[in-house]
Amino acid sequence: MDEAGRILGHSRGGPANHYQVGWSAAFTEIETAVSQAARSAGVQANDAAAIALALGGVDRPGERSMVKRLARSLWPRPALRVENDALAALVGGVGTAYGIVLIAGTGMIAYGVNEEGAHARAGGWGYRADTSGSAYTLGLDAVRAVLASHDGVGPTTCLEETLLRALNLSHIQDLIPWLYTADEHVERTAALAPHVLACAKQGDTVAVEIVARGADHLADVVWAVARRLNMDRRSIPVVLAGGVLVHSEFYRQAVTQAIRTRLPLAWVRLPQDTPAAGAARLAWETAGRSLPQWQPITTSERPTWTTEWPNVFTRNLDTRTAKEIVGLMHVEDTRAVRSMESALSAIATVVDALAERMARGGRLIYVGAGTPGRLGILDASECPPTFGVSPEMVTAIIAGGEKAIRFAIEGAEDDEEAGYEDVNRLHLTPMDTVVGISASGRTPYVRGALRAAREQGSMTVAIVCNMLSPMEEEADYVIRIPVGPEVIAGSTRLKAGTAQKLALNMLSTATMVRLGKVYDNLMVDVQPTNHKLRERARRILQTVTQLSPQEAERALEQSGWDVKVALVSTLIGCLPEEARQRLAKANGFVRHAVDIDGGKSST
């Protein structure tokens, strides 16, 4: 390439990753490709201003030193530069060293560079370690799914017929020698990816699950790189490269959708040039010619919320059979559960802060509209019988009032002042916590409620399913669950509702455990108000103490059907009154109450 960016000569070589072919074979290919490219341009490689070698398997200093030593022996005069091949793909894709490149071919890697020149990567560990998203893992997951279906432990799938036909095998048993004795096993497994993608595009739910899991993993590694480089809240280019992304529009759309669910400001695109051209630009930079600055794409159009997008995997839903619809819904519900992983740390942080406040008399108050409001009411109403707390300790309000529990109240969620006033009437204290729940993260009623809570000094939490949502401005803590597009566009009672319910389960349950409402994994503050709960109380006492059913019931009657008192009095052999005193000293924790004075009773 000349200084103006014109390609004067090019050539191709074979594999050059020394981990796959060894140093000698790798450099034979590199020397052949470089020398032939120079000859096709009518020059000698040794007369170049600079040579950049962008290779796989050269991330460590020792490996780069080896490449430079071998290259210097061939070309002593040019300036030399050794980089990971992903950097060349980024520069070729964007035109400069800024942004993130996602490469998914036989293997996969995400690689990024920020404005300060810091680099980060995720994935790229090779076919034995990369978990999902590459052509190889798509093919291998399909083979595993076919075998599971054949064994009767997985659902039926069109993949069996498709893969056998693609591999020219007559019976599923023939997969065994193919798996374990075939030459070039990795490449042949990766070659199955187009067949898996074709089955997924047709709506086969097993193939859809494989492809969706791969798309989500690729998006996760891009997101991980963006967070590491502090680029996750900026407008950045994300280049999609590698055969399985470049050649499959369907997979590219699925991956793009997954990336923009996590990084709504990302500009996802195909490469504008090849990685080889990117390497040549890196060589010119080494020779003193600066790479251009990336120019952000500006638009006045506001990005739509991902929960409102049509889902790539559920197109033509109205033409599907009942079995296919149910299967696709199951796939998306599974994705909703997986999306919780990125929110677990935030939930745990909120639990610690919430438990500290509730231990000092604070209340937990859920606020929502529509489905999120009903979910808040459900979780709040289950806490008193499960954990023995008062209804005032965990409560919920819904836009439109009690009537909205059963009926849609038009316009209630749009009334920000109503949310503000409803929370103001609760007379909050700094020990109280208000949790706003909204799939979109922009519900005016919930925003008003959080604003009122902040003004009164209470802790505020937002549970949202869109990234960079307006509700974040009103919350001390934000729990972001990137569920992505719904089965039916905008129907957030589905995946978003599932994820919000899971988050509320974790929030209230983990907090109650931290408050001593659980001993071991038993709900020892259960209120035995009916036959089922009295039976549960007996089983809890028997499980811990090995009492007979009659002895357990007698101990519960003596303690006034207080499971904690019955436990402590039985475990250390004291009267119920002493057990109550111990529990009071231990702030209600059974384990601590038993350990007071080494577990010795004073009676």
Q: Which residues are catalytic?
A: 382, 413
Give 16-20's long-range contacts (Cβ < 8 A, gap of 24+).
16/55, 16/56, 17/55, 17/56, 17/57, 18/57, 18/58, 18/63, 18/66, 19/56, 19/57, 19/126, 20/57
* Cα–Cα distance, 270 to 104 (Å, whole number): 12
* Cα–Cα distance, 34 to 20 (Å, whole number): 20
DSSP conformational letter for 290: P
Give φ, ψ of 441 to 5 degrees.
80, 15
Burial letters 27-37, b for 16+ CB under 10 A, else e: bebbbebbbbb
Q: What angle do CA 38, 39, 45 make, to 5 degrees?
A: 35
* Cα–Cα distance, 226 to 219 (Å, whole number): 10
Residue 522, strand partner residues: 519
For 299, 373, 540, 575, the CA distances from 376, given in Å and listed in that order, are 38, 5, 28, 40
Q: What is the edge-to-edge ordering of all strands in the sheet holding 267-269?
A: 119-123, 108-113, 99-104, 237-241, 267-269
572 in Cβ contact with 601 (< 8 Å): yes
Burial letters 381-415, b for 16+ CB under 10 A, else e: eebbbbbbbeeebbbbbbbbeeebeeeebeebbeb
Helix 61-74 to helix 23-40 angle (10° resolution) is 50
For 66, 73, 189, 288, 521, the CA distances from 78, given in Å and listed in that order, are 17, 11, 40, 13, 68
Q: Which residue has the tokens 């059974």?
A: 590
* Cα–Cα distance, 461 to 346 (Å, whole number): 10
Residue 119, strand partner residues: 113
What is the identity of the amino acid at 274? T
3-class secondary structure for 129-182? CCCCCCHHHHHHHHHHHHHHHHHCCCCCCCHHHHHHHHHCCCCHHHHHHHHHHC
Instruction: For residue 218, give the nearest of 190, 270, 249, 258 by alpha carbon.
Output: 258
DSSP conformational letter for 522: B
79 in Cβ contact with 287 (< 8 Å): yes
53 in Cβ contact with 30 (< 8 Å): yes
* Cα–Cα distance, 121 to 249 (Å, whole number): 25
